[in-house]
Amino acid sequence: MFSSLLIANRGEIACRVIRTARRMGIRTIAVYSDADRDAVHVKLADEAVHIGGSPARDSYLSIEKIVAACKQTGAEAVHPGYGFLSENPAFAAAIEAENIIFVGPPVKAIEAMGDKITSKKIAAAAGVSTVPGHMGLIADAEAAVTISRQIGYPVMIKASAGGGGKGMRIAHSDAEAREGFERSKSEAASSFGDDRIFIEKFITEPRHIEIQLIGDAHSNVLYLNERECSVQRRNQKVIEEAPSPFLDAATRKAMGEQAVALAKAVGYTSAGTVEFIVDKHRNFYFLEMNTRLQVEHPVTELITGLDLVELMFLAAAGEKLPLTQEEVQLNGWAIESRIYAEDPFRNFLPSTGRLTRYHPPAENLVQPPFIRNDTGVAEGSEITTYYDPMIAKLCTWAPTRIEAIEAMEDALDEFELEGVGNNIPFLAAVMGQQRFREGRLTTGYIAEEFPNGFSGVELDADSLTHLAAIACTSAFALDHRLYPTTPEPRAVIIGDQRWDFSVRADGIEYWLTAPDGKKLLVETGWKPGNTICIARVDGHLHHVRIQRLTSGFRLRHRGADLIAKVLLPRVADLMPLMPVKLPPDLSKFLLCPMPGQIVRIDVAEGDIVEDGQTLAIVEAMKMENVLKAEKRAKISKIRVQPGSVLAVDEVILEFEAV
Ligand code: ADP
Ligand code: ADP
Ligand code: MG
């Protein structure tokens, strides 16, 4: 085994790799950019090298700088993590040229699998089932239309060099094929510097199920079961689980064996993932192979009891895998929620800023349900626009799927994160949905379940009453500190609902009595200053994030975000008389929906536009977003030009009714 390792990555995955290396007694070397000077991975490593400016191309994507850091520190091996240079064959070759061990597959395997068109051809030759489609390049938009018609709509237009859900469009018609081709090509050119496009059949009601592989240099390749990653938005995974609620043992075995056949065909070693798209009849088709450690590998570790990074180290050091296919376990159920700095209330637009509070639930791998949280940030860390907006990967494991989901609900309720918009309320909402709990997933899940976007969660009547009771006991605890006398009855107002309670407290037991004599028992040890209230109300345990406001609390629970006012009844009586503040009318403006740059403006002042007509294109996070008119209107003024860099909500143009 090598004795020192440089991690050519940042964030949670750098921390994850360091953790296993440390356990195995390997000296760890981090690299960092300007923006990451104070990052967690830098502090965690035994040694750290500054490699350049904040933009990834000046640091984490610079082969030259990383090779120089290896030489400077005498690193014997390099782990590339995921993203950045992990699937770049030139990087692996440059590392090996210096006689340093690349912790990953052979250069030839990365090359063969890195390109979607090439890998699809190799897969087909190895007897792997592939998505029907055109295996060649597409010259122009007209050729795209011809080929799409031959395949039959709907089709998926893809960048051969694509990754991370970028450079990909669905088309249902000639017009969409034309537009999709142009957008994919342009996105592929700007994201991957390679604008080759191909087209395949779009599999309807698809599920994304992938097989984890591990191989060594002695021709052993094992499949470590599957992960289901169907809950996606914009073709990016959000929630993953292992095993898949959809697979039976026969399909699992067939997929596993085909994945192994493909790996053997390219002389694969190390960890890798073969992604499949599965239709509702359990027909499965090869999508692509990721020649690296996958973001969602923790769920596989939780059901197999293996450490994938350790197995990668063993394989890289030329050792034999310590287990056989028969010894691979599939035990219980694991779920991962990707916690992103993105605002679910604003169409999941990326959000940046400082984590003014970061307090994840405590990890526990001793007593089921297990909680694991892979992260690369700490309180005070800054989330910038330079890198991926993922903050943490929260995983739970339990003997059954439903127990793992329930553990996730509690863990999300306990996750304290302030300072940047984040998707925790959204994740909590999904965990609570009946369709998710029944495992009826497709990659269209989010689009189908949230057709008008996410606007928060409506709690059921009992849960609302429980939150009102918690607000009441918390107010009691606050008041009692100041005036330890028998308090007056209180009214709790949430939205337009009102509850009246009188309170009698005895240690951690609070008896709440409503005017009709109905009693409610709240048991809680909450004290003023605690940011989480753990309370049993009427026998039901709740974890509620609680924040004090003037005359009440902000309560966050299961994706709901509420203000509970706690007032004296006579004050509450006057509340309906307060004037209501109306939000300003913004319907006359086209606002920039995200921080980004205007690529194109398709209209001129004075134009009459129709519903659905393209107005402008904004590029943000390397995605081109088409902004369309929502109704017939006249363009009265254009406020920006192509190239303008806009903040969120800046006005792009003004409409006039016609
Ligand atoms: P996984 O398939 O492991 O879940 P994702 O597809 O979500 O991974 O991508 C993992 C990370 O790598 C993301 O940060 C993504 O933006 C990045 N990524 C994936 N492919 C590429 C690529 N070809 N170029 C640059 N970044 C990529
Ligand atoms: P990336 O390299 O960006 O991860 P993939 O080829 O793995 O690209 O596709 C990403 C996602 O897009 C898949 O998980 C799936 O949801 C969807 N997808 C890709 N190809 C198809 C297809 N032919 N039919 C249906 N969905 C597809
Ligand atoms: Mg993929």
How far, in Å, are 193, 392, 441, 479, 594 from residue 7 at the CA level? 25, 19, 35, 53, 32
Residue (of 425, 296, 413, 294) closest to 351 by Cα position: 425
408-430 pLDDT per residue, tens:
999 999 999 999 999 999 999 99
In a domain? residue 123: no
In whole numbers, what is the pLDDT of the chain averaged over residues?
94
Sign of the CA dihedral running 543, 544, 548, 550: negative
| Residue 577 scores a pLDDT above 90 | no
- Pair (608, 569) in one structural domain: no
- Pair (555, 494) in one structural domain: yes
CA distance 251 to 241: 17
- Pair (570, 474) in one structural domain: yes
Label residue 93 exposed, middle or buried (CB < 10 Å: 0-12, 13-18, 19+).
Answer: middle
pLDDT at 486: 65
How remote is the CA of residue 278 from the centroid of ligand 2, in Å? Answer: 11
243-270 pLDDT per residue, tens:
999 999 999 999 999 999 999 999 999 9
- Pair (504, 569) in one structural domain: yes
Question: In this structure, which amino acid lies at residue 254?
Answer: A
In a domain? residue 584: no
Instruction: Give me the domain span that covers residue 64.
Output: 4-103
Kindly give the residue spans of alpha helices, DSSP state H, lying in 87-243. 89-97, 107-114, 116-125, 141-151, 174-192
- Pair (244, 280) in one structural domain: yes
Q: Which atom of ligand 2 is nearest to the CA of 229?
A: 14
363 is an active site residue: no
- Pair (192, 237) in one structural domain: no
CA distance 358 to 381: 9
Reported confidence tier of residue 623, pLDDT bands at 50, 70, 90: confident
How far, in Å, are 459, 511, 516, 526, 541 from residue 521 at the CA level? 20, 5, 15, 15, 12
Report the number of secondary-structure helices (H) and strands (E) in the chain: 17, 39
pLDDT at 649: 84
How far, in Å, are 70, 74, 400, 467, 567 from residue 548 at the CA level? 50, 53, 37, 14, 14
322-354 pLDDT per residue, tens:
999 999 999 999 999 999 999 898 788 888 889
User: Closest Cα to atom 6, ligand 1: which residue?
Assistant: 164
How remote is the CA of residue 165 from the centroid of ligand 3, in Å? Answer: 7
How remote is the CA of residue 206 from the centroid of ligand 2, in Å? Answer: 9
Task: Please say which residue of 201, 223, 240 terminates a domain.
Answer: 201
CA distance 425 to 421: 10
CA distance 622 to 527: 46
Identify the residues whose C-beta falls under 6 Å from ligand 2.
131, 156, 162-165, 168, 200-203, 206, 208, 232, 235, 275, 277, 287-288, 443
- Pair (195, 84) in one structural domain: no
In a domain? residue 51: yes
Task: Please say which residue of 150, 166, 201 terminates a domain.
Answer: 201
- Asked whether 160 and 176 are in contact (CB, 8 A), the reply is no
Reported confidence tier of residue 621, pLDDT bands at 50, 70, 90: low
pLDDT at 488: 80
In a domain? residue 115: no
Q: Report the number of distinct structural domains present in the chain.
A: 6
Among 200-214, 378-392, 479-493, 636-650, whose mean pLDDT is lowest?
479-493
- Which CATH number is 159's domain given? 3.30.1490.20
In a domain? residue 380: yes
Tell me the average pLDDT across 556-575: 94
Reported confidence tier of residue 626, pLDDT bands at 50, 70, 90: confident
- Pair (572, 593) in one structural domain: no
Q: What are phi and psi of 153, to 5 degrees?
A: -70, 155
Reported confidence tier of residue 164, pLDDT bands at 50, 70, 90: confident
511-546 pLDDT per residue, tens:
999 999 999 999 999 999 999 999 999 999 999 999
User: Closest Cα to atom 7, ligand 1: which residue?
Assistant: 164
- Pair (39, 65) in one structural domain: yes
- Pair (197, 248) in one structural domain: no
- Which CATH number is 534's domain given? 3.30.700.30
Tell me the average pLDDT across 71-93: 97
In a domain? residue 284: yes
pLDDT at 622: 63
409 SS3 class: helix
268-299 pLDDT per residue, tens:
999 999 999 999 999 999 999 999 999 999 99
DSSP per residue, 502-539: EEEEETTEEEEE-TTS-EEEEEE---TT-SEEEEEETT
Task: Please say which residue of 446, 479, 499 terminates a domain.
Answer: 446
pLDDT at 192: 86
In a domain? residue 264: yes
Percent of the chain's residues with pLDDT above 90? 85
- Pair (510, 527) in one structural domain: yes
pLDDT at 428: 97
The pair of three-digit structure tokens given for residue 114, joined into one six-digit string: 């890195």
In a domain? residue 124: no
- Pair (405, 302) in one structural domain: no
- Which CATH number is 439's domain given? 3.30.470.20
